[in-house]
């Protein structure tokens, strides 16, 4: 771990990479600086203030200083822990106070590239390694800041997605219709393109297929309902756009590596 890495945007105090971690040493902890958990593989359940949920690849979880951070490994977790300060250059750009919680990327190629560089940094000359680490860790932290700003400012989010307005329209449709039946052929037709074009263009814009994007939304909603309501599995399936609890069970098992009932029993606080 470095003593400190500084620039005008982010000051990294320490960082560490954990591989296939099966259990956190502490269920609850608090850090004196801002802390970021960046999962590369696996998943974990977290609670920060009023926010809680499951984080996996494509998510960044940030916790403000001195705020209790509860966490439990859901499936063997490989992740980067970064302890840092926001620089004045970042804070001056924020329209709202930066808060903790989960920030989800819709395009993950850049994140995956940073993970790859960090994993292979020892191939670089020793004198160059810290510069590469600085670049990657700062980029991940700044991406978290960008996601925070987009989430707090719908106008900025709309402008961000406007790089491919047709796919932004598709993504909005999938978010709005996630609780109902979705026909991807009909969606493609309504956008004036073929199903193959929809898949190709959507994957280029969001880093995942339309079906995976929709499934992720539905699974996250199912997790929330499992932990925050007393609805039956069949009722939750209906709320998440699935015809039966059995269908939800199969999808949930594939994406979370455990059944909905097991998930509720294990993580319901």
pLDDT confidence tier of residue 4, bands split at 50, 70 and 90: very low
Q: Note the pLDDT of residue 150.
A: 67
Return d(Cα 118, Cα 132) in angstroms, integer.
7
Helix (H) or strand (E) holding 6: strand 5-6
Write out the two tokens for 108: 């993950």
Domains by residue range for the chain, with CATH: 10-152 (2.60.120.10), 160-267 (1.10.10.60)
The label of the residue with tokens 């009909």 reads 186
Whats the size of the chain, residue-wise? 269
Helix (H) or strand (E) holding 10: strand 10-21
Q: Give the tens place of pLDDT for each residue, 214-253.
A: 998 899 889 888 887 788 999 999 888 999 999 999 999 9
Report the pLDDT averaged over residues 74-96: 78
Percentage of the chain modeled with pLDDT above 70: 87
Question: Is the pLDDT at 129 greater than 90, yes or no?
Answer: no
Q: Please name the residues in contact with 249: beta carbons below 8 A apart, sequence gap of 6 or more.
A: 233, 259, 260
Question: Is the pLDDT at 162 greater than 50, yes or no?
Answer: no
Is residue 231 within 8 Å of 245, Cβ to Cβ? Answer: no
Is residue 2 within 8 Å of 136, Cβ to Cβ? Answer: no
Beta strands 5-6; 10-21: pairing state: antiparallel
pLDDT confidence tier of residue 106, bands split at 50, 70 and 90: low
Which 3-state string (H, E, C) describes 111-154? HHHHHHHHHCHHHCCHHHHHHHHHHHHHHHHHHHHHHHHHHHCH
Return d(Cα 194, Cα 131) in angstroms, integer.
45
Is residue 129 within 8 Å of 122, Cβ to Cβ? Answer: yes
pLDDT confidence tier of residue 62, bands split at 50, 70 and 90: very high
Task: Tell me the whole-structure pTM to 2 decimals.
Answer: 0.60
């Amino acid at each position: 771990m470095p003593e400190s890495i500084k620039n005008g945007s982010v000051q990294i105090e320490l960082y560490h990479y954990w591989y296939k971690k099966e259990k956190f040493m502490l269920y609850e902890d608090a850090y004196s600086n801002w802390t970021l958990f960046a999962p590369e593989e696996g998943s974990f359940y977290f609670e920060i203030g009023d926010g809680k949920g499951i984080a996996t690849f494509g998510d960044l979880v940030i916790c403000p200083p001195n705020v209790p951070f509860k966490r439990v490994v859901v499936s063997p977790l490989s992740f980067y822990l970064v302890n840092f300060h926001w620089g004045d250059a970042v804070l001056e750009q924020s329209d709202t106070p930066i808060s903790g919680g989960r920030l989800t990327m819709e395009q993950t190629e850049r994140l995956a590239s940073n993970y790859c560089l960090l994993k292979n940094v020892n191939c670089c000359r020793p004198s160059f390694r810290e510069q590469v680490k600085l670049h990657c860790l700062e980029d991940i932290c700044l991406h978290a800041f960008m996601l925070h700003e987009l989430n707090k400012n719908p106008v900025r989010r709309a402008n961000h997605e406007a790089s491919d307005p047709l796919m932004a329209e598709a993504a909005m449709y999938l978010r709005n219709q996630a609780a109902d039946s979705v026909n991807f052929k009909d969606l493609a037709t309504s956008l004036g393109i073929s199903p193959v074009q929809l898949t190709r263009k959507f994957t280029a814009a969001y880093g995942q297929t339309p079906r995976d994007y929709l499934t992720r939304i539905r699974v996250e909603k199912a997790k929330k309902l499992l932990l925050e309501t007393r609805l039956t599995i069949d009722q939750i399936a209906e709320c998440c756009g699935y015809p039966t609890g059995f269908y939800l069970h199969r999808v949930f098992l594939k994406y979370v590596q455990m059944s909905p009932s097991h998930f509720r029993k294990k993580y319901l606080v």
